[in-house]
Amino acid sequence: MQKSVWILSTLMSGVLLSPLASAQNADPLPNYTYAGLAIEDNDDFRDADTGFKIDGSYELQQQYFVSGYYRNLDSDGIDSNSDYDSFNVTGGRYFVLQNGFVVDAGVRLGHVDYGDSTNFWGAEANVRKRLGMFEVYGGASWVDYTSAGSDTQYKLGGRAFVTPALAFGVEANDSEFGDALALTAQYNW
């Protein structure tokens, strides 16, 4: 009898305390305050091109954020002496869904110089999820160029955190310069 009470109390303690244990072991949410660097290989724009992207984000109060990037593409193709530049600023808000999924939506403004210089504006939506030391993400955006029509863009990637603040990853994206593969680094605050 005493052994049965001990076994039952152990089982009940495990059942009652398991939500606390799972809450403590829950995956962290993606961070919206970071600085990043990407090395991009873009074979879709003007033959074979490589470049880099410097990006960052800052989380404001109540799940609002502002983010941006500067992208430079060194053309090795048709215009071998040309560099193409773009920058983008996004303001948005993120929402935490069940199971740690985070969805964000924002409005974009930017400028691109790829031989012809043009401004653009648009909207974007992304989903992110932390899985232990990994983060996966994807997103889509629509941009309207003032002198070049409109475009739908995407990004899909993942990163591994080597420390709680530093992560390295890979990304496939379609930007204002076409399709690219990128190696990424990100430092989170």
Which domains does the chain carry?
Answer: 30-188 (2.40.160.40)
How would residue 157 be classed by pLDDT, with cut points 50, 70 and 90?
very high
pLDDT of residue 109: 98
| Percent over 70 (pLDDT), the chain | 79
What are 99's strand-pairing partners? none
Q: What is the pLDDT of residues 73-127, one digit of tens each?
A: 876 554 555 678 999 999 999 999 988 899 999 999 999 987 778 999 999 999 9
pTM to 2 decimals?
A: 0.81
DSSP 142-188: EEEETTTEEEEEEEEEEEEESSSSEEEEEEEEEETTEEEEEEEEEEE
Please give the residue that has the higher pLDDT: either 43 or 159: 159
